[in-house]
Structure 1
Amino acid sequence: MTEIRYRLQQVRRVEGSLPGPRSQQLTERRASAVASGVASSVPAWAADVDGGIVVDVDGNQLVDLGSGIAVTSVGASAPAVVARVKEAVEHFTHTCFMVTPYEGYVAVAEKLAELAPGDFPKKAALFNSGSEAVENAVKIARAHTRRQAIVVFDHAYHGRTNMTMAMTAKVMPYKQGFGPFAGEVYRVPVSYPFRDPEGMTGTEAARRALLQVEKQVGADNVAAVVIEPVQGEGGFIVPAAGFLPALSEWCRDNGAVFVADEVQAGIARTGAWFAVDHEGVVPDLVTVAKGVAGGMPLSGVVGRAEIMDSVHAGGLGGTYGGNPVACAAALGALETIEEWDLIGRARRIEEVVREELEPLASGTGIVGELRGRGAMMALELVLPDGREPHAEAARAVAAECLGQGVIVLTCGTYGNIVRLLPPLVIGEDLLRDGLRVLARAVHRAAR
């Protein structure tokens, strides 16, 4: 593997309590200027970020096990991303691709078509956020099939727009008070091995879901089945083997579009370019965002050319979609993933996480499961020696870690998941240091 050189010292260091005085001052300014509906989980304010370290405005160095929610996979200041962005802004920041097009948009679309699963002609369209990508995938599927119904799953998270809120399962904080939501969205059970009946296979879980679709929606009415191959906000749920292939086959047999929402799990995060690659599943459409552009706002839908071309001219787009600077960043990020073998590093991160954290499952009584793929791993915390969700423990663990200078995130329908999304460029020594802080925090929560 290519040796990665860092600008900042990759060492955890906290002086005093968090947040420090400068962060506290900024929090006071924020209170009078920023809408209270915008929340932050970490009270320390960032000043510099490199590799696996976030330096706050008080000079503390925090281990980053969150990557801005799986965005800065190549690091928050990767040299190739920085260089391409600098070159791009020296020429122009915007023209709107729908007015005066530019090569960068085409280059990103070509690269996504090359990387996406499937040995058939593919095309792409670019947008700004994951929510936009998912919503446009729905538009494309409806245009192609001339059907309306969209099938989604329990524990799903697809975004914060009206359509994607309807597709998202969790009410708080994403949907509470924001309805009514878009119609023709139908939710069915997902494969959740930790909570499914013991011994249920992926094929059986798929049949459970699809029978509900057939009886309550009607196969001939389904435009698309949309699923995260590894569910993100819902709890880093990895479906049982066979679940995704069965969904894909059903879509093929019934003329529906199979959409893999790879916004969080895609772009090398799970130790493959896309999470569906682990089971050899070939979706009709794939949505991407987060890690695709090294921190710049960019998303896309990529898939079968004949499906992508179903929409009339002018039916897709947006003023900022595929912004030239974001496209430049994406080309730098994708180049970095390949040159630094970050797919291999994601697999190594999983090995290290399992080495450090698997003993917690048998040694604490509150870790129901360690699961995930690559650099998308999570602990499901439960009440002692049971399966009831333990959200209080998850909050306590995250707070304890932050106090020791380690950023971890929580998630899950029940709020009981501690999720790990380290940058793929994090050094192994720093990763182990952060994981050992986490392990100690779990032991304390268990006591």
Structure 2
Amino acid sequence: MTSIEADITDLGHDGRGVTHVAGKAVFVAGALAGERVGLRYTGKHRHYDEATVEEVLRASPDRVVPRCAHFGVCGGCALQHLMPEAQIAAKQRVLLENFERIGKVRPEEILPPLTGSPWGYRRRGRLSAKFVEKKGRMLVGFRETNGRYVADIERCEILHPAVGERIGAITALLESLEGKREIAQIEIAAGDNLVALVFRHLKPLSGPDTQALIAFGQANDFAIFLQPGGIDSVAPLWPAHAQLSFVLPEYDVTLDFRPLDFIQVNGGMNRRMIDHALTLLAPRPGDRVLDLFCGLGNFTLPLARRAAQVVGVEGEAGLVQRARDNAAKNGIANATFHSADLSADQRATVWAKAAYELLLLDPPRSGADAVLDYLPRKTTRRVVYVSCHPASLARDAGILVEKHGFKLRSAGVMDMFPHTAHVESIALFEKD
């Protein structure tokens, strides 16, 4: 399509530059705010167009050379061309804009951003796998930026190094298998003690293929799991009793998890986030705390070390059982867990009727508006909200302020996903 020159006026929420041509918004992949670029259209729509950078005519001072050779093709990252400090500043702007535009609120204090190492941080991930007949070889990687194809990559700079540095070796392994056409994806899960690869296969694998997977695991110190069907079909191939876990040393807590369980992608940032959340929540020894969307106890069990009683509620029954098991393993008797669909009305349950001084929320992207119809209760003096989507946080902040009479004391971003446009944030609400 047509190539033109344009000035980039903003950075969009998805990491693309924004310009206007003849009054119509154009989202430009690879462009940064303040730049003048030569762009090529890649798609036209009724209300906006899409384009990609062909040439940077005037570069932003925040532009850097991406570390990854596959950046711009692989869809795993969107912002490697923007220096990390500028990435976090852009995410902070997104958060504040959402508060003002959607929630009609503004924090009294903007918290300093939480940041960590921007490389090798992903301990969870999903790689696509496909044998391409026309090329006669296997591709293993994230999807390309267009989403249609598997990116042809040799290494990944943001994955845990044990995996990120071995993408080429994993690809060669799959190419050697009789059932290479049956491998659809590889899930990655890294604990502090072990790194697991889960191979999703569409048909049963042969004996030689399973032996090749075992040998690869032994040679590279990976635990190997197979997934012939849904999540419940995941089972260890080698070793027979592989157990993943991570440690929260400040709280003397070890959390066991299964390879496909939800855990925070960035382990180092997770530890800092827990410390941050507990500092903001400031539990007292006599406090009762409600932890909603608690998962396998990531916040619940550290909170139990500081408060009198903690109740965790989670929608996925398997995670609730893991949370209970983790509490028992860590000798924590003052944490109880319930399985409940938090998108449905739970106000009649015993746990929802109880009184709590503190409330912690860590919902999915859809937010917690259904819960906020009946919680927090009048006894609650402080709410800490951990968010993976700034728009839903902003909406729910408006509810907490307007309906429940809280003040939005402070909020800030946490760089859980460096080099992506994903915005993780935290907010503190208090009663006067």
TM value normalised by structure 2: 0.34
Structure with max Cα Rg = 2
TM value normalised by structure 1: 0.33
Higher relative contact order, structure no. (Cα contacts within 8 Å, ≥ 6 residues apart): 1
More helix, by proportion: 1
More strand, by proportion: 2
